[in-house]
Amino acid sequence: MDGDNGRKLHKQNEPLTRGAKDLQRRFKGHSITLHVLRRYGIENYFPQHAYEAVLKRNLTGYFPIPAHKPIEKHFTEQQPPWRRIVNWALRRPRRSFYQKRRNVEIATHLTMADLVGTDLASVLNDLKAQAEQAREY
């Protein structure tokens, strides 16, 4: 489960949401494990080089990606201060230059080395171990 639904990302230690706790209770006693990511979404784990390869632009100013922020709100064009004020006054959201439909394309540029030290790597390693164990039977 992504962190935006499964965690209170703005609270200390990012506790699970009521919905995530409910799912954990429902899965108890079954062979299903609920993993709740510590970042907003899967996109928050993708490395800079993968985004740059797909988007064909330098994203140095956008990294590191905040763990608690949706990628569409993070990847927006830089604007002069006057434009930000006008858009705020007119209640216009900033336009994103990234759409989630590109996640599959981004993922083709990922390796496990890109995820080392993240909770997502732990989840993937756990899934791999479970799959290997299941093959033994």
- Please tell me the distance from the alpha carbon of residue 22 to that of residue 4, in angstroms, as a whole number: 16
Cis bond upstream, residue 80 (ω within 30): no
- Please tell me the distance from the alpha carbon of residue 69 to that of residue 66, in angstroms, as a whole number: 6
The pLDDT, as a whole number, for residue 45 is 97
Q: Percent of the chain at pLDDT above 90?
A: 80
- Tokens at 43, concatenated: 């996109």
Domain boundaries, the chain: 37-135
Single-letter code of the amino acid located at 22: D
Q: Kindly state the average pLDDT of the residues 78-97.
A: 88
pTM for this prediction: 0.86
Q: How many other C-beta atoms lie within 10 A of the C-beta of residue 57?
A: 10
- Tokens at 50, concatenated: 């993968």
Report which of residues 37 and 87 the model is more confident about: 37
* Per-residue pLDDT tens digits for 31-67: 888 999 999 999 999 999 999 999 999 999 999 999 9
- Please tell me the distance from the alpha carbon of residue 41 to that of residue 58, in angstroms, as a whole number: 22
